[in-house]
C-alpha cells in the first residue's frame, strides 16, 4: 500500500542519527576512496557509533540558512512544524563536513597541495555560511605515520596546514591507507561523532536562546516548535533521556494551544507525532508501562477532539492510525525482547485500530454519499504549489492562516467536498482486514482463542462488505464450530446469518441449504418471522426455484446473485446434496431406538425412528432410509413417498411423511434377523432423511449412528439430570427428551424348548468311573433335528483339572490319560415332540476337589417368523458341580507278635503289619480283594492271603488285615527299609456288573530295622491248671558272632511253686540258640 496522508512520515519513525557528509571522495573511479567509503558504510553493526554518512561533492550546496532574526516582536508563526524540517536535519544539513584530501607529509610539492586543501575547505565553509556545521580534514596518506612527536616534519606541516585551513588541531586527521583500514576508520568515526555531538549541543543551545524573546500570546505555536526541535536535536545527539523530557514538555504544550475547528487537525497531527516519539523512547528505555500510560493519556485527551463534523471520518482515521502505530511499536519492542501478557499485548491496539477503521468506514459511508453527478472540484483545492504542505496537519487551501474565522467559506466548502470525494476512493475494507489479521496473529500468540474467533468473525463480515464472499465464508465457517461447541447460540446465529447471505450472493447451493437448516434449527435465536422466511426460501430451493434475496444485501450484488440462481436452475446435473448433520444443529432431529437390547432370532427385530422438526411450518420429507452394519437389512428399512404399500411400515399414510413442528413423529420398522447373525450385534450406522425429491433438488440429512447432532449430547445430559415432571401426553405420543438413543441390538438364539436332566450319585470317588445319566426330552411342537450333545469338564477351569479328568461314553473299560476332558458334538439323532433320550456318561477324576461339568445340547428346528421359514439353531446347557473324594483311608502300623506297638523292628525277629481300611465314601463300597506286595528286603512268615475279600463296607466301617513279616539284618539303612505296597481292588457296591474294578495302590511306610545281641523267647503254655505243673521254656539266642557269658536267674512270683535251676551261668555260643526249661507249680490265692 502506498503511504496515505495518515501514515507517519518516514523521518518521524526512523531513529535519528548524526548526519555527517564526506567530501573529496571519488567512490566511482578511485579504488582507495571506494575502500574508505565501504569501510564507513558497510556492515554497520550496533556497536558502531550512530552516524548516517553521505558522500557529496566538495562544492555541494547545502540548504541556505535564513538570516537570523534579531527580534521576534513582529513575527507571527504560520504553523507548528514545517514539513521539511525533520528531513532537513536528518539528511540535508550535516553536523560535520569532512574534507578528504590525499597528502603525505613528505609531499615534494607541499606548498601547492596545502593551498589546494585550504581552498577546498574554504569552498565547503562558503556553502555552509551561517550554520554551525563543523568542518574536518582527513589526509589520506600512503605511508604509515610514525608515532606522534617523532616525525618533526609531520608536526610542523600539520600545524601549517591547520593554520592555512583555519582548523583547530582536533579537526585534522590522518588516514594511512594500510592494512588496518577498518580500525582507523572506527577511530575516525568516533572522532566525527564527538564533533557531531558538539554541533547538536550548540544547536540545542541556539534554539533554547530564542525562548526568552517569545511571548505567550502570539508565539504559542513557537513554544511547541522549539520544544520539539530541542527534543529532536537531543535525539540526534543520542541523548534520549533529555529528548524524552523535551518531547513530554512539547506534548503538554501542544494541548495548551487554543484549539478550534480550523486548527484541530494540526494540533492532533503534532500531538500524534510527539506521542509517537514519547512511546517509542519509552519502549527503547524499557519502560513499557510508561509508554502505555502515555498512550492512554494521549487517547483520552484526543478522543473527543473530533473537529469538523463533515470530516469526522478523518478523526477516526487518525485514531485508527494512533492505535496501529502503538501496536507496531509494542510489537517491535516484543521482538527486541519485551514480554507481553494475555491482557496487555499489541493485539488490543490493532483491534482498536480496526474498530476505528470500521467507524471511519461507517462515517465515510454517510458523509461521502454524494450523487454520482457531483464532480471533483477544479482547480483541485488539495493541490499546493510545491505538491506538499508547508506545515504538518494544515489544510492545503488555507495554509498558514491562523485566524479561526473562515475568510472564504466557499473555498472551505470546496475543500471539504474534495476531501470527501477522495475518502470515497479509499478501500476501507482492506485497511480493516489488515488490522484485524494483525490482531488475530497477536491474540493467537497470547492464548486468546475466543478473541481470535471474534476478530475472525469481524474479518469475515468485512470480506462480506468487500464482496469477497468466498473468503468471508471460509472465515465464518472456521469459527462457527467454536461457537457451536461452546453453545453460544446468539453468536452462532449472527455468524450463520452473515454466512447465509454470502452463500445466497454466490448462489452456493450446498452452503445455502446447510446454513438454512441450522438457522431453522433449535440452536438459532432468530425470530419466527425470519425462520418462516428462511423456510420458505429453503422449500423454494428444494423445488428447484430461486430463493428470495436475504435482507440488507447490496442491491447490485443481489442482481448478480439472482442471475446466478437462474443459471443454477437451468443447470442440470447432480442435484442431490448429502449433508452430514453430526457437526451442526439442523432443524430436524432424529433418534433411533431398538425396542430391546437383544432380540431372539425367531422374533422380528423392531425399532423406532423418532423425528422432530423445529422449523415454524410443517415440512414434508420424501424418503427415510436406515443403514446397518450388515447392509442386507437396509432394504427393509426404507420409507418412500412412492411406495405406499410398504410391508414393513404399518398404517402408512401420507401424513406420516409430513413433520409437524414440535411434534414427535414415530416410525416403526421391523425386519427378520438372519440366522447367521445370531450372537452378533446389529448396529444402525446411519439414518438418511431426504427432503425434496430427485426431480427438483434433494437434500439428504445424514445422521451417523442412531441420530443426534452437535447439541444433543448436552441436551441429553440436561434431560437426564432433570426431575421436572413432564406434562401428560396422549398415549401414542412421547416426550422428545425422554427418548434415549439405542442404536444397536444383539441377536440371540431362539429359546430352547427341551429339558435336560442329569442323574448321578455325588460325590465322585477318586479314580472311579463316575456315571452321569443325561436325559433330554423335547417339548417342541415339531421334530427337532441334529441333536448334539457336548459334555464334560466345563472349559475355563484350572488347567490341572483338565489333565486329571477324563470323560467317556463307555463305562466298561477304565479310561486312561488319552481320554479327553470334554466330549464335543456327540450326535444323538432326531427327536420327535415329547420324545426322550438317555445317554450315559462316565467321568474319571484323578484328584479330589470340586469340578464344574457342562452338558450342552444343541439342535436345529424349522420355524416361521413373519411368514418366513427359517432354520433356528437352539441350545440348552446344564452345569453341575461335582465333588470328588477319596473312597477310603488306609492306616498301617507295625506291632510285635504280642501286638505291642513297635517304633522299629528287630532284624530276623518276626513282627506284625496291620492295615486298617476306613471307608470315607457315603455310598457302600465292595472290597473285591486286597494284596500285599512285599519289598525284596521283607520276607513273610506265613501265607499272605487276603483276609478282606468281598467285604462290603458301609460309611465309617473299616476292614483290617494282619500279616506276620520278618526282616533280615541289613545293617544300618538311613530312613528305614521299604516294606512294599498294599493293593486294594474295589468298586461301588451299587455299580453295575460290567463296571471295571478299580485298583488302588498304597505304598507302605518304611521301617527302621535294628540288630539286637540277645533274643529271649519265652514259650509258655496258653493256660495252666492249679496244682499241676506248668512247663515254661525259654529260648535264648545269641545274635552276635562272639561267645557271650550269660547269667540267668529266675525269680518266680509268689503264686507259683518253682522247680529247676534258679540261677545258672553258662557261655553262649555265637549264633546259637539255647533252650532252657524250668517247671513251676502254681497255687491259687483265695
Partner 1 sequence: MAVCIAVIAKENYPLYIRSTPTENELKFHYMVHTSLDVVDEKISAMGKALVDQRELYLGLLYPTEDYKVYGYVTNSKVKFVMVVDSSNTALRDNEIRSMFRKLHNSYTDVMCNPFYNPGDRIQAFDNMVTSMMIQVC
Give the footprint of partner 1 on this chain (CB under 8 A): 299, 342-343, 348, 352, 355, 447-451, 454, 457, 483, 486-488, 490-491, 494, 714, 717-718, 721-724
Q: Residue 235: what are its φ and ψ, rounded to 5°?
A: -65, -40
The answer to whether the beta carbons of residues 399 and 262 sit under 8 Å apart is no
Minimum CB separation of residue 628 from partner 1 in Å reads 34
Minimum CB separation of residue 496 from partner 1 in Å reads 13
Cα 129 versus chain centre, distance: 74
Give the nearer residue to partner 1 in terms of CB position, either 159 or 293. Answer: 293
Write down how long the chain is.
1086
Minimum CB separation of residue 567 from partner 1 in Å reads 35
467 vs 455: CA distance, rounded Å: 18
Three-state SS string over 410-463 comes to HHHHHHHHHHHHHHHCCCHHHHHHHHHHHHHHHHHHCCCHHHHHHHHHHHHHHH
Under DSSP, the state recorded for 34 is H
Give the nearer residue to partner 1 in terms of CB position, either 348 or 350. Answer: 348
Helices 509-519 and 528-542 pack at an angle, to 10 degrees, of 150
Other beta carbons within 10 angstroms of residue 126's beta carbon come to 11
Under DSSP, the state recorded for 59 is T
Minimum CB separation of residue 691 from partner 1 in Å reads 29
Minimum CB separation of residue 43 from partner 1 in Å reads 44
Give the nearer residue to partner 1 in terms of CB position, either 454 or 987. Answer: 454
- What is the residue-wise DSSP string for 284-296? HTT-HHHHHHHHH
Minimum CB separation of residue 486 from partner 1 in Å reads 5
Give the nearer residue to partner 1 in terms of CB position, either 225 or 454. Answer: 454
121 vs 114: CA distance, rounded Å: 11
Give the nearer residue to partner 1 in terms of CB position, either 69 or 447. Answer: 447
Cis amide leading into 312 (omega within 30): no
Give the nearer residue to partner 1 in terms of CB position, either 104 or 709. Answer: 709
Burial of 320 (C-beta count, 10 Å sphere; 0-12/13-18/19+): buried
Minimum CB separation of residue 59 from partner 1 in Å reads 56
672 vs 606: CA distance, rounded Å: 9
Minimum CB separation of residue 292 from partner 1 in Å reads 11
Give the nearer residue to partner 1 in terms of CB position, either 457 or 538. Answer: 457
**What 3-state DSSP class applies to 354?**
helix
Give the nearer residue to partner 1 in terms of CB position, either 23 or 275. Answer: 275
46 vs 205: CA distance, rounded Å: 29
Under DSSP, the state recorded for 879 is E
Give the nearer residue to partner 1 in terms of CB position, either 498 or 858. Answer: 498
Minimum CB separation of residue 418 from partner 1 in Å reads 31
Residue 524, C-alpha cell as written in the block: 438459532
Torsion of CA 338, 340, 346, 349, to 10 degrees: -120
Q: Which helix (H) or strand (E) holds 1047?
A: strand 1044-1049
391 vs 84: CA distance, rounded Å: 8
Give the nearer residue to partner 1 in terms of CB position, either 391 or 489. Answer: 489
Minimum CB separation of residue 743 from partner 1 in Å reads 25
Residue ranges in 129-261 assigned as alpha helix (H): 152-165, 181-210, 220-236, 240-256
Minimum CB separation of residue 517 from partner 1 in Å reads 21
Minimum CB separation of residue 55 from partner 1 in Å reads 49
Helices 555-570 and 489-506 pack at an angle, to 10 degrees, of 70
761 vs 507: CA distance, rounded Å: 86
Give the nearer residue to partner 1 in terms of CB position, either 446 or 886. Answer: 446
Minimum CB separation of residue 425 from partner 1 in Å reads 28
Give the nearer residue to partner 1 in terms of CB position, either 457 or 626. Answer: 457
208 vs 898: CA distance, rounded Å: 146
Give the nearer residue to partner 1 in terms of CB position, either 493 or 503. Answer: 493
Amino acid at each position: 500500500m502506498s503511504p496515505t496522508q495518515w501514515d507517519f512520515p518516514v523521518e518521524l519513525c526512523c531513529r535519528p542519527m548524526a548526519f555527517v557528509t564526506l567530501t573529496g571522495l571519488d567512490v566511482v573511479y578511485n579504488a582507495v576512496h571506494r575502500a574508505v567509503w565501504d569501510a564507513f558504510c558497510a556492515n554497520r553493526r550496533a556497536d558502531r557509533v550512530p552516524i548516517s554518512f553521505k558522500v557529496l561533492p566538495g562544492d555541494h550546496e547545502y540548504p541556505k540558512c535564513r538570516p537570523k532574526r534579531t527580534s521576534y516582536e513582529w513575527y507571527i508563526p504560520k504553523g507548528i512544524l514545517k514539513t521539511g524540517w525533520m528531513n532537513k536535519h536528518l539528511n540535508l544539513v550535516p553536523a560535520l563536513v569532512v574534507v578528504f584530501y590525499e597528502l603525505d607529509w613528505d609531499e615534494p610539492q607541499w606548498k601547492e597541495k596545502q593551498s589546494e586543501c585550504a581552498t577546498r575547505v574554504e569552498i565547503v565553509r562558503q556553502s555552509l555560511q551561517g550554520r554551525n556545521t563543523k568542518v574536518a580534514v582527513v589526509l589520506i596518506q600512503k605511508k604509515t605515520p610514525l608515532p606522534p612527536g617523532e616525525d618533526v616534519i609531520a608536526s610542523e606541516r600539520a600545524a601549517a596546514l591547520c593554520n592555512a585551513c583555519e582548523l583547530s588541531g582536533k579537526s585534522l586527521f590522518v588516514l594511512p591507507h594500510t592494512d588496518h583500514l577498518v580500525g582507523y576508520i572506527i577511530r575516525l568515526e568516533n572522532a566525527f561523532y564527538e564533533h557531531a555531538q558538539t554541533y547538536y549541543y550548540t544547536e540545542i543551545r541556539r534554539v533554547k536562546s530564542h525562548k526568552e524573546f517569545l511571548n505567550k500570546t502570539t508565539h504559542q505555536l513557537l513554544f511547541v516548535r522549539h520544544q520539539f526541535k530541542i527534543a529532536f536535536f537531543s535525539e540526534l545527539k543520542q541523548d534520549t533521556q533529555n529528548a524524552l523530557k523535551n518531547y513530554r514538555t512539547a506534548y503538554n504544550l501542544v494541548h495548551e494551544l487554543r484549539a478550534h475547528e480550523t486548527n484541530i487537525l494540526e494540533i492532533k497531527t503534532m500531538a500524534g507525532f510527539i506521542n509517537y516519539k514519547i512511546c517509542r523512547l519509552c519502549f527503547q528505555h524499557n519502560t513499557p508501562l510508561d509508554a502505555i500510560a502515555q498512550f492512554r493519556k494521549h487517547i483520552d485527551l484526543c478522543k473527543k477532539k473530533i473537529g469538523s463534523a463533515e470530516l469526522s471520518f478523518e478523526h477516526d482515521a487518525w485514531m485508527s492510525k494512533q492505535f496501529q502505530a502503538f501496536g507496531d511499536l509494542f510489537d517491535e519492542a516484543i521482538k527486541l525482547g519485551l514480554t507481553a501478557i494475555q491482557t496487555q499485548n499489541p493485539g488490543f491496539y490493532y483491534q482498536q485500530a480496526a474498530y476505528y477503521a470500521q467507524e471511519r468506514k461507517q462515517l465515510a459511508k454517510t458523509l461521502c454519499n454524494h450523487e454520482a453527478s457531483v464532480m471533483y472540484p477544479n482547480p483541485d483545492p488539495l493541490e499546493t504549489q510545491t505538491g506538499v504542505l508547508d506545515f504538518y496537519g494544515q489544510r492545503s487551501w488555507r495554509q498558514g492562516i491562523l485566524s479561526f474565522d473562515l475568510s472564504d467559506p466557499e473555498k472551505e466548502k470546496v475543500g471539504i467536498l474534495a476531501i470527501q470525494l477522495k475518502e470515497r476512493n479509499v478501500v476501507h475494507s482492506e485497511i480493516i482486514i489488515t488490522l484485524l489479521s494483525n490482531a488475530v496473529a497477536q491474540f493467537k500468540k497470547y492464548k486468546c482463542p475466543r478473541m481470535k474467533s471474534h476478530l475472525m468473525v469481524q474479518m469475515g463480515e468485512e470480506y462480506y462488505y468487500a464482496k469477497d464472499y468466498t473468503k468471508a465464508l471460509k472465515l465464518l465457517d472456521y469459527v462457527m464450530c467454536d461457537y457451536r461447541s461452546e453453545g453460544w447460540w446468539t453468536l452462532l446465529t449472527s455468524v450463520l446469518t452473515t454466512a447465509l447471505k454470502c452463500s445466497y450472493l454466490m448462489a452456493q447451493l450446498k452452503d445455502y441449504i446447510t446454513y438454512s437448516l441450522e438457522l431453522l434449527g433449535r440452536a438459532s435465536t432468530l425470530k419466527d418471522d425470519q425462520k418462516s422466511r428462511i423456510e420458505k426460501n429453503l422449500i423454494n430451493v428444494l423445488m428447484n426455484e430461486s430463493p428470495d434475496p436475504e435482507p440488507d444485501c447490496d442491491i447490485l450484488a443481489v442482481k448478480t446473485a439472482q442471475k446466478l440462481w437462474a443459471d443454477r436452475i437451468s443447470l442440470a446435473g447432480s442435484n442431490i446434496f448429502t449433508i452430514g448433520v453430526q457437526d451442526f444443529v439442523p432443524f430436524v432431529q432424529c433418534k433411533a431406538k431398538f425396542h430391546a437390547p437383544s432380540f431372539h432370532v425367531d422374533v422380528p427385530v423392531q425399532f423406532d425412528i423418532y423425528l422432530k422438526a423445529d422449523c415454524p411450518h410443517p415440512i414434508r420429507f420424501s424418503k427415510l432410509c436406515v443403514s446397518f452394519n450388515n447392509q442386507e437389512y437396509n432394504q427393509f428399512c426404507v420409507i418412500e413417498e412412492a411406495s405406499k404399500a410398504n410391508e414393513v411400515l404399518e398404517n402408512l399414510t401420507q401424513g406420516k411423511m409430513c413433520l409437524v413442528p414440535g411434534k414427535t413423529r414415530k416410525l416403526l420398522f421391523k425386519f427378520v434377523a438372519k440366522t447367521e447373525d445370531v450372537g452378533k450385534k446389529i448396529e444402525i450406522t446411519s439414518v438418511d432423511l431426504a427432503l425434496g425429491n430427485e426431480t427438483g433438488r434433494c437434500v439428504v440429512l445424514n445422521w451417523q449412528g442412531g441420530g443426534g447432532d452437535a447439541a444433543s449430547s448436552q441436551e441429553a445430559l440436561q434431560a437426564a439430570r432433570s426431575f421436572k415432571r413432564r406434562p401428560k401426553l396422549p398415549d401414542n405420543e412421547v416426550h422428545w427428551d425422554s427418548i434415549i438413543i439405542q442404536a444397536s441390538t444383539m441377536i440371540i438364539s431362539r429359546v430352547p424348548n427341551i429339558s435336560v436332566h442329569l442323574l448321578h450319585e455325588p460325590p465322585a470317588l477318586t479314580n472311579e468311573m463316575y456315571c452321569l445319566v443325561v436325559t433330554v426330552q423335547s417339548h417342541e411342537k415339531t421334530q427337532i433335528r441334529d441333536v448334539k450333545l457336548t459334555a464334560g469338564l466345563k472349559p475355563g477351569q484350572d488347567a490341572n483339572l483338565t489333565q486329571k479328568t477324563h470323560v467317556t461314553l463307555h463305562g466298561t473299560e477304565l479310561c486312561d490319560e488319552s481320554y479327553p476332558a470334554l466330549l464335543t458334538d456327540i450326535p444323538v439323532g432326531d427327536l420327535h415332540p415329547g420324545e426322550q433320550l438317555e445317554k450315559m456318561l462316565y467321568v474319571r477324576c484323578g484328584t479330589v476337589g470340586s469340578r464344574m461339568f457342562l452338558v450342552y445340547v444343541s439342535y436345529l428346528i424349522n420355524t416361521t417368523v413373519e411368514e418366513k421359514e427359517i432354520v433356528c439353531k437352539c441350545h440348552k446347557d446344564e452345569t453341575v458341580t461335582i465333588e470328588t473324594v477319596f473312597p477310603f483311608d488306609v492306616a498301617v502300623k507295625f506291632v510285635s507278635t504280642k501286638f505291642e506297638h513297635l517304633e522299629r523292628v528287630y532284624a530276623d525277629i518276626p513282627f506284625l503289619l496291620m492295615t486298617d481300611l476306613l471307608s470315607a465314601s457315603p455310598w457302600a463300597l465292595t472290597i473285591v480283594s486286597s494284596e500285599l506286595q512285599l519289598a525284596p528286603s521283607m520276607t513273610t512268615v506265613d501265607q499272605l492271603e487276603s483276609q478282606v475279600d468281598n467285604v462290603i463296607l458301609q460309611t465309617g466301617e473299616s476292614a483290617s488285615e494282619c500279616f506276620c513279616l520278618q526282616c533280615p539284618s541289613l545293617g544300618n539303612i538311613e530312613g528305614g527299609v521299604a516294606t512294599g505296597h498294599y493293593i486294594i481292588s474295589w468298586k461301588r457296591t451299587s455299580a453295575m456288573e460290567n463296571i471295571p474294578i478299580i485298583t488302588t495302590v498304597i505304598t507302605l511306610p518304611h521301617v527302621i530295622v535294628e540288630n539286637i545281641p540277645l533274643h529271649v523267647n519265652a514259650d509258655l503254655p496258653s493256660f495252666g491248671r492249679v496244682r499241676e505243673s506248668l512247663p515254661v521254656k525259654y529260648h535264648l539266642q545269641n545274635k552276635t558272632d562272639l561267645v557271650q557269658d550269660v547269667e540267668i536267674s529266675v525269680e518266680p512270683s509268689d503264686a507259683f511253686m518253682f522247680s529247676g535251676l534258679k540261677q545258672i551261668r553258662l557261655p553262649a555260643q555265637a549264633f546259637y540258640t539255647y533252650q532252657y526249661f524250668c517247671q513251676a507249680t502254681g497255687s491259687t490265692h483265695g
